């Protein structure tokens, strides 16, 4: 499978693969002390994701939102026994799921504590995840280098996503590492100066 690790610190690893025609980033957060892990966005190429899950000790799948390019592998991962979680607001967009994710919910991954931040705007139920005592922010399609995610699709709303960015994400420190659903990573410090530009351009 080759090395998939993209970030590590004491007790924690982040792995990533890029799958499907929209080049979705699929992340695995792993607690190295216990071997427990979660996969973020069962996007596509289910056989590859199942290999990744087995190799890294994944126990659960968390969906950042319900758009079809992020959920293509959900049925196969559920069939393989993995619990799939999504926010209630986006649950109807999935072919199937097991549990829902609440705003501010703490999700334990071994000794790691992930926090769910409801960030509507790209979809009504979009959610980002931080990890306590790390700079990590898994932003789904809410924030990318250069601006917010697309709000022109059904359920998207530009004022709402900007409010999510300002009230939920940009309250975090500048050194926060943004790991988006597509493309390259960035930091909140690199993006923060451009908020006014995004407001003015309207996308």
Listed by start position, the domains of the chain span 5-201
| Residue 92 CB neighbour total at 10 angstroms | 10
Cα–Cα dist 46/172, whole Å: 33
pLDDT per residue over 56-82, tens digit each?
A: 999 999 999 999 999 999 999 999 999
Q: Which helix or strand (DSSP H or E) is residue 83 part of?
A: strand 83-87
Mean pLDDT for all residues in the chain:
97
Instruction: Write down the pTM of the prediction.
Output: 0.98
The number of residues in the chain equals 203
CATH class assigned to 5-201: alpha beta
């Amino acid at each position: 499978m080759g090395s998939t690790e993209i970030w590590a610190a004491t007790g924690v690893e982040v792995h990533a693969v890029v799958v499907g025609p929209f080049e979705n980033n699929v992340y695995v957060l792993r607690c190295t002390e216990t071997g427990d892990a979660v996969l973020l966005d069962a996007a596509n190429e289910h056989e590859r994701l199942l290999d990744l899950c087995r190799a890294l000790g994944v126990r659960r799948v968390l969906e950042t939102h319900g758009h079809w390019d992020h959920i293509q592998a959900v049925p196969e991962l559920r069939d393989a026994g993995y619990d799939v979680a999504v926010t209630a607001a986006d649950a109807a967009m999935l072919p199937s799921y097991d549990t829902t994710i609440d705003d501010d919910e703490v999700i334990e991954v071994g000794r790691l504590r992930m926090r769910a931040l409801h960030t509507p705007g790209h979809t009504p139920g979009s959610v980002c995840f931080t990890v306590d005592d790390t700079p990590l922010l898994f932003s789904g399609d809410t924030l990318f280098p250069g601006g917010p995610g697309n709000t022109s699709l059904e359920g998207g709303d530009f004022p709402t996503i900007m409010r999510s960015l300002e009230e939920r994400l940009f309250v975090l420190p500048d050194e926060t590492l943004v790991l988006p659903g597509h493309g390259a990573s960035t930091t909140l410090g690199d993006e923060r100066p451009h908020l006014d530009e995004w407001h003015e351009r309207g996308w």
